[in-house]
């Protein structure tokens, strides 16, 4: 039996339409996609610690965390991804997504167009076999 391919979905800046497109693609051709394991990641920007003495910065950090957690939960529900396959990470999106993709052995990364451009700027991106902007999700089914 062939090992499942790991697909990492970056939920930062993901629109509802993109989530629906991913879900529809997986539902339409369930047998072709059954060899793939979806994992979600949302990256919270890391803020400089020198600003934490300002009371409003604590509120801003909590707001980032709450929004990220809600986004991750909602996308997870729509795509039927279990909580153990949802990652909430803080740091730089380029560094953290690619670090997680390497750790999980991801074959593919799905992200919005803006996020893919950011990820491509990294030298670590060469380890990912294929990537797809969500508008062209069918790209990841190529052998």
pLDDT in tens, 65-81: 899 999 999 999 999 99
Q: Which fold has domain 5-141?
A: Rossmann fold (3.40.50)
Structure confidence at residue 143 (pLDDT) = 47
Region of 13 (left: φ > 0; alpha: ψ -120 to 50; beta: rest) is: left
pTM, entire model: 0.77
Exposure string (b/e) for 45-58, b if CB count within 10 Å is 16 or more?
eeeeeeeeeeeeee
Residues of the chain with pLDDT under 70: 1-2, 29-34, 48-53, 120-143
Element (H, E) at 44: strand 36-44
Q: Is the dihedral of CA 128, 94, 12, 117 positive or negative?
A: negative
Structure confidence at residue 69 (pLDDT) = 93
């Amino acid at each position: 039996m062939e090992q499942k391919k790991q697909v990492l979905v970056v939920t930062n800046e993901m629109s509802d339409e993109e989530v629906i497109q991913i879900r529809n693609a997986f539902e339409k051709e369930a047998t072709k996609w059954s060899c793939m394991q979806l994992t979600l990641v949302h990256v919270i920007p890391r803020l400089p610690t020198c600003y934490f003495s300002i009371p409003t910065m604590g509120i801003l950090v909590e707001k980032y965390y709450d929004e990220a957690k809600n986004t991750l939960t909602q996308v997870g529900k729509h795509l039927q991804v279990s909580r153990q396959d949802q990652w909430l990470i803080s740091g730089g999106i380029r560094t953290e997504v690619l670090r997680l993709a390497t750790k999980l052995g991801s074959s593919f990364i799905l992200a919005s167009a803006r996020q893919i451009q950011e990820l491509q700027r990294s030298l670590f991106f060469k380890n990912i076999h294929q990537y797809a902007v969500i508008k062209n999700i069918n790209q990841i089914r190529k052998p």
